Structure 1
């Protein structure tokens, strides 16, 4: 009986000691963050520019020496505006020569008409020969054909004179000159490049490895480098098939969902690539509790202000963070500092971690 009483006392004494030890655990202040699941994964940020989707390079349709450039790079032009002009001396001389040939053929045609009428009258009175009438009519037809040819030559010479002025047929912005005043150019040689400002796109250069992974699920966030609050989204329109030999990058052309007014041609932009992924949570690397068994984190009970460990599945690790695919839910608070000095059920004082 005495042994039973002593054993019971020992059990009560041990329980009291454990309770006292538990009650003596200090309330520990901890840093923590709120779990925010992510459905988008960032693939990187790249610098780019706003450019015109449509550009055209113009040249003179005739050869000659450039007499004047009428507009400079950056100038806005309207349909019909003159961009540059050649020295028109050669074209004017060709026009004068063609007009002289036309006058000559017109005189011959008038004589051929008169001769054909005269031979017809003589033949009708019976004093003219059939052979002379046929010859006169043949000469009239030949002269008429020469007259049409001379008129066409004059029209062509006038066109050649008009081609000595380089004009635009659409509204555009001058982006580049490939020839200077005084320079002799051949027909069709590139002289000036025009960009149409009504349809713009974003252009960036991507590393080859990333360009090969582009898919329909990618999302492009486009923002002005000077004012990131001015932004829009974009989709991939075209990817250059070959990489640049010097930079080993491939140029991507992006169609803008909306074009802010401040997105002028040449505006420097920052493009962020994101891709839709399965839900995941990113936490500071210091939140992970590792040792024997699977990795865990401390989750704070908001009602009791106590902590408990939770097993998590690690998806990705970087020097400063870890990405979890499961184990924590949106809105839960996870301890991020002092994880090795906590005990299950221990009370804590929660301080949010500085997001910086």
Structure 2
């Protein structure tokens, strides 16, 4: 047996070196185990879908009443909630300046009418003298010109009187139709500009239920659909209506569309500002129903984890939600019938991860 200096056998030394080299290399980690998840198979909805939205009652027509001239408002005769009739005075301006302007215009009209009477008399005399041969043509032409000038001056003065009378009338603000005051924009003592809102009037021409509708709901709504509208605090107070107006552009913040439902014979309990619930029934097949726990997010959009049946890996896919409640969600786009989605364990997954299916019940 060979020995090294010091007396240790060579074979023992080689074994020690092999053991030391094996200790310096860590063992390879075991491959990751597939994560167990619960899944469900996507199937199309067969029963009708009832879409429910919350909105408010508003007047079919609201107008802002304002003065046509500027001035200092001295009186406002109505308040928020008051009912007004057509032609009722709702506010007044200080009319001192307008009355002075009217008196001045009437005095100018009287002076112009006096000059017109004198011009007519001069024209009559000049015409008679010319006819009898005792007058000249030049004098007759001058009298005719003075008569025409005086007539124009009277017309101009009368127009100024009419304008001044209108301005005096504009110092009173009248309701153009019956309705209810919903807002006020100025207080007595303020100097207001022409057109400034003094009061906002909800006309008694009808009521609308106003909803902010997601794009997918607007797109699947059937034409001329009948909407059921009920008071949220008392669902026994109900009526129906049809779509009267749809906003052509979406709200830049919420992405929803403003829809106005014209109500048919609304009951008295549906007052302005009341919160109402609108219900619309959509025929079967409008989307795919999945458990609400399957929803997660991809950025700012809702998404679900879809399982590839061949590789048993998951991928995150963005979807559009038609409606949802605590138990389930109805997906309008992004899924197809027969696909498998993860319903439990969605928060611990990553794209491409292998999974082990615990169940796949529809």
Q: Give TM class, smaller chain.
A: 0.5 to 0.7
1:173 matched residue in structure 2? 180
What CA distance in whole angstroms lies between the structure 1 residues aligned with 2:94 and 2:165? Answer: 15
Q: TM-score, normalized by length of structure 1?
A: 0.64
1:221 matched residue in structure 2? 228
1:42 matched residue in structure 2? 50
Deviates more, 1:264-273 or 1:162-171: 264-273
What CA distance in whole angstroms lies between the structure 2 residues aligned with 1:72 and 1:270? Answer: 29
What CA distance in whole angstroms lies between the structure 1 residues aligned with 2:237 and 2:205? Answer: 19
What CA distance in whole angstroms lies between the structure 1 residues aligned with 2:325 and 2:240? Answer: 28
Q: TM-score, normalized by length of structure 2?
A: 0.63
What CA distance in whole angstroms lies between the structure 2 residues aligned with 1:318 and 1:271? Answer: 16
1:65 matched residue in structure 2? 72
Q: Is the 8 A contact 2:206 2:263 kept in 1?
A: no
Q: How does 1:132-147 map to 2 (within 5 A)?
A: 132-147=139-154
Residues 224 and 100 of structure 1: CA distance in aligned 2, closer, same or farther (over 3 Å): same
1:272 equivalenced with 2:272 (yes/no)? no
Q: How does 1:106-255 map to 2 (within 5 A)?
A: 106-216=113-223, 219-255=226-262
Q: Residue 277 of structure 1 aligns to a residue in which SS?
A: coil
What CA distance in whole angstroms lies between the structure 2 residues aligned with 1:123 and 1:151? Answer: 32
Q: C-alpha displacement at 1:186, in angstroms?
A: 2.3
What CA distance in whole angstroms lies between the structure 2 residues aligned with 1:67 and 1:321? Answer: 60
Residues 109 and 257 of structure 1: CA distance in aligned 2, closer, same or farther (over 3 Å): closer
Query: What is the number of residues matched between the two proteins?
Result: 252
Q: Residue 122 of structure 2 aligns to a residue in which SS?
A: helix
1:100 matched residue in structure 2? 107
Q: C-alpha displacement at 1:202, in angstroms?
A: 0.6
2:98 matched residue in structure 1? 91
What CA distance in whole angstroms lies between the structure 2 residues aligned with 1:128 and 1:168? Answer: 62
Measured on the aligned residues, the alpha-carbon RMSD in Å equals 3.0
Q: Is the 8 A contact 1:219 1:275 kept in 2?
A: no
What CA distance in whole angstroms lies between the structure 1 residues aligned with 2:129 and 2:329? Answer: 113
Q: C-alpha displacement at 1:219, in angstroms?
A: 4.8
Q: C-alpha displacement at 1:99, in angstroms?
A: 0.7
Residues 321 and 261 of structure 1: CA distance in aligned 2, closer, same or farther (over 3 Å): same
1:301 matched residue in structure 2? none
| 1:5-30 Cα distance to aligned partner (Å, 9 max, x none) | xxxxxxxxxxxxxxxxxxxxxxxxxx
Residues 75 and 321 of structure 1: CA distance in aligned 2, closer, same or farther (over 3 Å): closer
Residues 38 and 209 of structure 1: CA distance in aligned 2, closer, same or farther (over 3 Å): closer
Q: C-alpha displacement at 1:245, in angstroms?
A: 3.3
What CA distance in whole angstroms lies between the structure 2 residues aligned with 1:58 and 1:321? Answer: 49
Q: C-alpha displacement at 1:108, in angstroms?
A: 0.9
What CA distance in whole angstroms lies between the structure 2 residues aligned with 1:129 and 1:186? Answer: 58
What CA distance in whole angstroms lies between the structure 2 residues aligned with 1:50 and 1:133? Answer: 75
Q: Residue 133 of structure 1 aligns to a residue in which SS?
A: helix
